[in-house]
Amino acid sequence: MTTEQKEIKKEIQQVRKEQKQFHEGINKLKMENEKLKEQYETIVKENSEIKRELADVKGNIEKMEKLTKRNNIVLKGLEMKTNDPEKLKTTINKFIAENIGIEATIKAVNKVGGTTCIVELIDEETKTEIMRNKAKLRNMEIEKIYINEDLTRKDRDKQRQLRIRAQEERGKGNIVKVGYNKLIINEKEWRWNKEKEVLEKKITKN
C-alpha cells in the first residue's frame, strides 16, 4: 500500500469517526429535545391546573362575599353625625319607614363615611322589598338619598364597566338603557358574559 493510499484510508477513517460523532450528537440533541418537550408539557399542565385552582378559589371567595352581603343595602346621602350603632339603626329605621313605607328590622349598621352606611337587614325578603320600593326616594324634594345593593368587588367592577360603556354610547348619540347585567343600545340588547367578563351583543335566533 502506497503512502498516498494510507493517507486516503486515514482520511476515510477520520470522516467515519466524525460522522459517528455527528450522529451521536444528533441523537443526544433529540433526547434532550424530548426531555425539554416533556418538561414543557408538564409546566403547561401544571399552569393549567394552577389557573383552574385559582379560578375555583376566586369563585369560592366571590360566593362567600355574596353570601355575607345578601341581606345588605348601601344607604348614601343621609347625613348622620352619630357613630353610635343603636342610634344609627333608629335613624335608618325611621327613614325607611317614613320614606319607603317598610318596617325593617336592622341587624347591624357600618358607617363608612359621613353620609354612607352599609345596612345589614334581618333577612333577604326585607332587602328585596326595600329595593323594590326604593324608587319612592325620587319624590324627596330636599335631599338626594340613594339605596343600592351592597356589591362584591367583582360586581362593582362590572357595574363600572357598564356605566362607562353607557356613557360612551350616549356620547355617540345612541339611546341607552341600563338593566341588570345588560345594556339596551338603540333597542339592541347587550348582555354581560360572566365567564369572559365582557359585554356581548345578544344574538337573536330567527
Residue numbers of the domain that contains 121: 71-150
Secondary structure E strands in the chain = 72-76, 106-111, 116-121, 146-149, 176-179, 182-185, 188-193, 198-201
> Domain for residue 206, yes or no?
no
Tell which residue, 163, 103, 170, has the closest CA to residue 133.
103
Q: 165-177: buried (b, 16+ CB within 10 Å) or exposed (e) per residue?
A: bbeebeeeeeebe
Contact residues for 175 (Cβ-Cβ < 8 A; gap 6+): 185, 186, 187
- Are 99 and 140 spatial neighbours (Cβ–Cβ below 8 Å)? yes
Quote the pLDDT of residue 56. 86
How much is the pTM? Answer: 0.61
- Please give the tally of structural domains in the chain: 3
Same domain, 75 and 109: yes
Could you tell me if 85 and 123 lie in one domain?
yes
Model pLDDT, residue 123: 92
Residue at 134 is within a domain: yes
Last residue of a domain, one of 69, 93, 126: 69
Strands (E), 13-143: 72-76, 106-111, 116-121
Cβ-contact 84, 118 below 8 angstroms? no
Amino acid 125 reads E
H or E element at residue 105: none
- What pLDDT does residue 196 have? 79
- Asked whether residue 179 is assigned to any structural domain, the reply reads yes
Write down the pLDDT at residue 74: 95
The per-residue pLDDT string of the chain (206 residues; one tens digit each, 9 = 90 and over) reads 677 777 878 888 888 888 888 888 888 999 999 999 999 999 999 999 998 888 888 888 888 988 899 999 999 998 888 889 999 999 999 999 999 999 999 999 999 888 899 999 999 999 999 999 998 888 776 678 999 999 888 888 888 889 899 999 999 999 999 887 889 999 899 988 877 788 888 876 65
